Amino acid sequence: SGNLYIVATPIGNLDDISQRAIKTLSSVAWVAAEDTRHSGKLLSHLGISARMLALHDHNEKQRAAALLQKLQAGEDVALISDAGTPLISDPGYSLVRLCRDAGVRVVPIPGPCALISALCCAGLPTDKFHFIGFLPAKSQQRQNVLSAIPQGVGTLICYETARRIKDCLADVVKVFGAERELVLAKELTKTFENFVYGTAAHITAWLNEDPARCQGEMVLMIAPTLAAEEEINPAAQQTLKLLMSELP
């Protein structure tokens, strides 16, 4: 059977497309894309004319079955999303699962991913992190999701929309307190790329200074508490316990 390639595409700067991505997209029989018009522009920018098929959240299950038939008939398929790595807050899971179950080879063509780009430049702990994807649109549900995250999972990373960022910051304060250190990564790899550091109040004030700052794409990161960091160090805890037991 053919191969399914999971191909990452740029999240802003078109120069971030990899050589392997170009080779793969040029050679496959089909490119499955979230939005064929949007991805058609990328392909024509790369000088690639590929047969395209739409695969989005609403038709994924159906389309996955059709794509599996093509793969089983020996045709190669590449999956791309509008930006970044497919399946990361983007369609593709049903297709990959189906291919795995059917014994079709699934091949990664790695590249841009907003959460990884944001995390590795934020200056927050990177040894452990917890990716939440998009938080719910409603405030109460958002607070519920944030409250349910256990301590000790490291830096929290969420995708957020410009429209909801201020409400989201208000909920972060409700759940984690006003002092928690945050980083907002905006417009990564684009002209107005920016990392804003500080408390929710500081970031909200920064957003309020200029309406243009509330636009664009963003990743919100929440630092782990110091307490949670210390929890990871059992030796320090043991020492503390010993000291405590010596106290009158």
Supply the minimum distance, in Å, between the C-beta of residue 167 and ligand SAM: 15
Asked if 171 and 164 count as a contact pair (C-beta separation under 8 A), the reply is: no
Cα radius of gyration rounded to whole Å, the chain: 22
**76 touching ligand SAM, by CB under 6 A:** no
Supply 211's token pair.
Answer: 């309406």
Span from 52-60, 84-92, 165-173, 226-234 in contact with ligand SAM (CB under 6 A): 84-92
**9 touching ligand SAM, by CB under 6 A:** no
CA 86 → CA 48, 81, 177, 188, distances in Å? 19, 5, 34, 17
Span from 87-95, 141-149, 207-215, 240-248 in contact with ligand SAM (CB under 6 A): 87-95
**114 touching ligand SAM, by CB under 6 A:** yes
Find the binder of ligand SAM among 88, 96, 175, 196 (CB under 6 A): 88
- Which 153-192 residues touch ligand SAM, going by CB under 6 A? 159-161, 185, 187-190
Supply 35's token pair.
Answer: 């939005």
**81 touching ligand SAM, by CB under 6 A:** yes
Contacts of 151 (CB under 8 A, 6+ apart): 224, 225, 227, 228, 231
For the beta sheet containing 218-222, the strands, ordered from the edge strand earlier in sequence to the opposite edge, are 129-134, 155-160, 218-222, 182-186, 194-198
**60 touching ligand SAM, by CB under 6 A:** no
Amino acid at position 153, single letter: V
Supply the minimum distance, in Å, between the C-beta of residue 198 and ligand SAM: 18
Supply the minimum distance, in Å, between the C-beta of residue 189 and ligand SAM: 6
Asked if 76 and 28 count as a contact pair (C-beta separation under 8 A), the reply is: yes
Supply 167's token pair.
Answer: 């409400």
Find the binder of ligand SAM among 7, 31, 79, 83 (CB under 6 A): 83
**17 touching ligand SAM, by CB under 6 A:** no
Span from 22-30, 110-118, 141-149, 169-177 in contact with ligand SAM (CB under 6 A): 110-118
How open is the CA angle 39-135-203, to the nearest 5 degrees? 95
**End-to-end CA gap in the chain:** 73
**218 touching ligand SAM, by CB under 6 A:** yes
**200 touching ligand SAM, by CB under 6 A:** no
Binding site for ligand SAM (CB under 6 A): 11-12, 81, 83-85, 88-90, 113-115, 159-161, 185, 187-190, 217-219
